[in-house]
Structure 1
Amino acid sequence: MRKPVPVIFVFPMALRIIEQTLISPYPPLASQPPHLLSFLDKIWLRDIWIEWLFFYEFPHAISDFIDQHLAALSASLSVTLHRFYPLAGTVRRSPNSEDGFEIWYKEGDAVSFTVAELAGSNFCDISGDHPREIDKLRLLAPKPASTGEQWPVLSVQMTLFPDQGFCIGVAVHHAACDGAGAIQFIKSWAAALCPSGNLTGDVPPPPFLDRSVIVDSHGVRRKLLRASQEVSEKKKKQRTGAEPPPPEAPHSSLVFGTFVLGPAMIGKLKKGVLEATAEEEGKPKFHCSSFMVACAYTWTCLVKARGYDGDSTVVFCYAVDWRRRMAPEIPNGYIGNCLGFNTVEMNVGDMIGGEGFAAAAAEIGRSIDGLKGMDVGQSIERRIDMAVGSEGERKPRLCIGGSPKFRVYETDFGWGRPAKVEMTSIVGTAGTISLAESREEEGGLEIGVVLPNVEMDRFSALFVGGQLSG
């Protein structure tokens, strides 16, 4: 159900709000029992959003889109929300729990749906691969409005580029679900609008909403609370007389670039790692995957581009999907968080040398293989202990978001394959990257990188130059 609301604010940089409405589930849905957040959900509680931008070509007037397509897009969102009703609700503190939080849907709850126009902008430029200003991309992302300790779960923004195309921006609160759950919802919405436009023939599974399948067998929820308190106390003590941390680069100086590793280059990188790390029996002691070599190659290029001191230590942080690793296995279509973390630390001097890429790949590969036989509770316990123990150590981190397994370029709302997909969740921190499948080549990977402009130039030269000489 679509209800207009008054627009009471104006955005800069030529973004004109055409319409803002509230989309509620249809058929109408009565209030539902709240869903208590699991310990895996609570990791992402504090105002962390998953944001994607989906760009589609549409070389027609804005009035054509509004008159012919907007109503159907809104109606299909409403129908999809009926099945994914928690996404129309809010994340809030549980009234009957000291430290619990929940997703609460009450009858009449709705999702903010904004329609805007970005006049005077070039669609191909803003959706290209070359470095683009973060501030421009951020205009296309929804702006969820939180109140105290209550957050909307989902917000949507449709931005039209006159006679060129449009962008569907989606923001989902990470405490409600991880990237796999968010992309399941987005593809279900696309399938509801255009069932015949499915690019693979695969129908997204129905949502599984019961969070009780996530069992906290290690008491991680309580340990997370204690760890948070310990870290807060350490920070208070360090504020007195401590040297302030170096300031992060402001958004206005950051750019977002997309880099591609084709399947042929990935094959070369794997071959190089295998040759450099072969054991006596001719096989390395880790699985050499596309993910591993792509992360290692990007990490080494970033470390060189950022100019870290050779004696310092840098950290690579990546998410681990536990859906197929948990016992019993999580049902297909589960909407919630199933992510843990893993980290790799290396000396900068070891990374910038001639064998730095192969060494980084080996470390990442061994860290992945080290998860075998471990459950998610053990993994997170270990991360908690490391986080508390290392609080105050200013080790530069490279964090990665997204996954080629999401197959974001198969998201067809009826206008074909997206011209571009960007994960703007990563844009707040320099040195962060996103990962997706390549739009153009099966088996290739797209890597989004956020850096200050000067460092982006150095990174690009290293990333592209390494492929040319590889």
Structure 2
Amino acid sequence: MAAETSRSVKVIDQSKVAPPPGSVSTTAVALTFIDVRCLFLGHTHRIFFYELPHPTLYFTQTILPHLSVQVTTVESDADFNHSVANHARDVKALKSLVPKLPLHCLSSSSNTTHVVPIMAIQFTVFPNSGISVSVTLNHAAADGRSFNHFLKFWASMNRSRGEDLTSLSLPLHNKDIIEDPHGLSSIYLEDLRKFGNLNPMGDHQVPPDNVLTTLVLKQTKIKQLKHWIATADNQQQSKINDEEIRISTFAVACAFMWVNIMKLQEQIRGSLDDNDDMLYHFLALADCRERFGSKIPATYFGNCVTLIYAPIKRRELMGANGMVIAAKAIGRQIYELGTGSVFKGEEKFSSSRGEIFKAGRVVTVASSPNFRVYETDFGWGKPKKVEMVHINGYSCFSLAESREEDGELDIGVVVGRDRLDLFNAIFEQI
């Protein structure tokens, strides 16, 4: 595929919206131990593309005044239809649609205080074609469920011009309901002191040749994989009580991507280690509002997530039944969350976090089909495409429900342009 023609964006408006001085008191909200852990995750960058066949002036005069938030508005000369397609698109070009969230430091003789903005929003107008709404969020402020609830509430307010306040519940901001029975807060704070700026899952420099492509996992393929996993006769199966474990669509999709991304890594860099007993790792965040001791309300705003952490030996993951073993391992982790083991083993993972990520033996997933991102309607219809552009190449993928068909999944993957043929060869089974 030929490289895309360089495109430009032009800033046409910047605004800040704030209450009148003195009208709102200053409030300090302490971070919970889960918020502290999420400082390692860096920023989330999500872009919502909407078809809107109007000129830029229509957006700035008719739509923008009703969207009362702190925003930057830019105009792009990129091809809107190319930007929302599934085929490979330049990551750097997509990043130009995302607002920056800078780190500010206030220093004194005794210490340094970090002042970190929580969120930034950017509208990009593709004249006479569409617009994108992109949000950069500091993950320490909120998890995916809270973030998407906020976006849907904002979209609902805009769609109804502020007249419908009943479609979604207001968020709950009481951090006191999050308890730390295992003393993990001190462990995570020590990690911050130990690792400093190490942000293995967070922001990173984008190689100039990276492209983002979307795989669509069809419902027929998902059913085929589920059947294979459920009926596979292998040694691992005898170690797991299959009656207790439900192999979900999430587990199947993650197993499929884990195995194939590790194959891609090994094709590019060679086997990461000669030792077949070396552990390869899968990591995901799981909502635990309904699993967290005293029940946390669904409307809680903040971070209420735990880790799904599955390590598998290389010889098993890369073997003929690797996908079966991976799906069962992920399924068991999900099952154990329902047995009261919400934060089991996190202190052990914390101690080896840096080593695991530096060695490059890990695959992570961003987002979830449960967030229903294509239901975020500002009054312009459902999004034409939703993308996450902070995912790392060769170690992370994004997961969302399909816009077109119920039961299908959109999977976002970043890969070097010169590796597209290899990528397609490995993933052609999709």
The TM-score with structure 2 as length reference comes to 0.85
Corresponding residue to 2:334 among 364, 368, 373 = 368
The structural deviation recorded for 1:387 is 2.9
Matched, 1:118 2:76: yes
Aligned counterpart, 1:21: 15
Report the secondary structure of 1:333's partner residue: coil
Distance verdict in 2 for CA 1:330–1:292, change over 3 Å: same
Distance verdict in 2 for CA 1:253–1:176, change over 3 Å: same
Aligned counterpart, 1:80: none
Aligned counterpart, 1:455: 419
The structural deviation recorded for 1:68 is 1.7
Give distance in 2, aligned partners of 1:411 and 1:429: 27
Aligned counterpart, 2:27: 33
Aligned counterpart, 1:411: 376
Give distance in 1, aligned partners of 2:241 and 2:341: 30
The structural deviation recorded for 1:429 is 4.2
The structural deviation recorded for 1:375 is 4.3
Matched, 1:151 2:145: no
Does the CA contact (< 8 Å) of 1:313 and 1:395 recur in 2?
no
The structural deviation recorded for 1:412 is 0.3
Report the secondary structure of 1:155's partner residue: strand
Report the secondary structure of 1:36's partner residue: coil
Q: How does 1:227-238 map to 2 (within 5 A)?
A: 227-230=191-194
Give distance in 2, aligned partners of 1:373 and 1:29: 47
Give distance in 2, aligned partners of 1:453 and 1:249: 16
- Size of the aligned set, in residue pairs, is 400
The structural deviation recorded for 1:231 is 5.3
Give distance in 2, aligned partners of 1:53 and 1:46: 22
- One-letter identity of the residue aligned with 2:74: A
Corresponding residue to 1:397 among 362, 385, 388 = 362
* Identity score, percent: 31
Give distance in 2, aligned partners of 1:270 and 1:353: 18
- One-letter identity of the residue aligned with 2:349: R
Q: Deviations over 1:98-134 (max 9, x none)?
A: xxxxxxxxxxxxx3x1000012x10011121111111
Q: Deviations over 1:395-441 (max 9, x none)?
A: 42111110111000000001101000011232x44331011111111
Aligned counterpart, 1:466: 429
- One-letter identity of the residue aligned with 2:389: T
Report the secondary structure of 2:380's partner residue: coil
- One-letter identity of the residue aligned with 2:386: V
Matched, 1:137 2:125: no
Aligned counterpart, 1:356: 322
Distance verdict in 2 for CA 1:437–1:55, change over 3 Å: same
Corresponding residue to 1:431 among 357, 379, 395 = 395
The structural deviation recorded for 1:377 is 4.2
Aligned counterpart, 2:108: none
Give distance in 2, aligned partners of 1:297 and 1:358: 9
Does the CA contact (< 8 Å) of 2:101 and 2:120 recur in 1?
yes
The structural deviation recorded for 1:254 is 1.5
- One-letter identity of the residue aligned with 1:322: C
Give distance in 1, aligned partners of 2:94 and 2:357: 32
Q: Deviations over 1:231-267 (max 9, x none)?
A: 57xx9xxxxxxxxxxxx98521221111111222111
Give distance in 1, aligned partners of 2:215 and 2:41: 29
Give distance in 2, aligned partners of 1:409 and 1:29: 36
Report the secondary structure of 2:311's partner residue: strand
Give distance in 2, aligned partners of 1:38 and 1:50: 19
- One-letter identity of the residue aligned with 1:165: G
Does the CA contact (< 8 Å) of 2:91 and 2:206 recur in 1?
no
Give distance in 1, aligned partners of 2:284 and 2:240: 30
Aligned counterpart, 1:255: 211
The structural deviation recorded for 1:45 is 2.4
Does the CA contact (< 8 Å) of 1:249 and 1:430 recur in 2?
no
Aligned counterpart, 1:244: none
Distance verdict in 2 for CA 1:391–1:418, change over 3 Å: closer
- One-letter identity of the residue aligned with 1:204: L
Does the CA contact (< 8 Å) of 2:307 and 2:343 recur in 1?
no
Aligned counterpart, 1:86: none
Q: How does 1:260-275 map to 2 (within 5 A)?
A: 260-275=216-231
Corresponding residue to 2:85 among 97, 103, 128 = 128
The structural deviation recorded for 1:453 is 2.2
Does the CA contact (< 8 Å) of 2:308 and 2:330 recur in 1?
no
Aligned counterpart, 2:386: 421
Distance verdict in 2 for CA 1:364–1:392, change over 3 Å: closer
The structural deviation recorded for 1:285 is 5.2
- One-letter identity of the residue aligned with 2:65: A
- One-letter identity of the residue aligned with 1:210: N
Q: Deviations over 1:69-97 (max 9, x none)?
A: 111123xx4xxxxxxxxxxxxxxxxxxxx
The root-mean-square deviation of aligned C-alpha atoms, in Å, is 2.9
Does the CA contact (< 8 Å) of 2:92 and 2:206 recur in 1?
no
Give distance in 2, aligned partners of 1:197 and 1:416: 17
Give distance in 1, aligned partners of 2:83 and 2:22: 38
Aligned counterpart, 2:263: 304
Does the CA contact (< 8 Å) of 1:326 and 1:375 recur in 2?
no
Give distance in 1, aligned partners of 2:324 and 2:31: 40
Distance verdict in 2 for CA 1:348–1:197, change over 3 Å: farther
Matched, 1:54 2:51: no
Deviates more, 1:391-400 or 1:290-299: 391-400
Report the secondary structure of 2:363's partner residue: strand
Aligned counterpart, 1:239: none
Report the secondary structure of 2:102's partner residue: coil
Does the CA contact (< 8 Å) of 1:342 and 1:383 recur in 2?
no
Aligned counterpart, 1:243: none
The structural deviation recorded for 1:217 is 1.4
Give distance in 1, aligned partners of 2:160 and 2:407: 26
Does the CA contact (< 8 Å) of 1:205 and 1:333 recur in 2?
yes
Q: Deviations over 1:6-50 (max 9, x none)?
A: xxxxxx941100011102259995124211110100112258212
The structural deviation recorded for 1:385 is 3.8
Give distance in 1, aligned partners of 2:239 and 2:295: 37
- One-letter identity of the residue aligned with 1:466: Q
Give distance in 1, aligned partners of 2:121 and 2:346: 32
Does the CA contact (< 8 Å) of 1:145 and 1:151 recur in 2?
yes
Give distance in 2, aligned partners of 1:31 and 1:197: 24
Aligned counterpart, 2:252: 293
What residue ranges of structure 2 are gaps of 5+ in the alignment?
Answer: 1-5, 106-113, 199-203
Does the CA contact (< 8 Å) of 2:66 and 2:161 recur in 1?
no
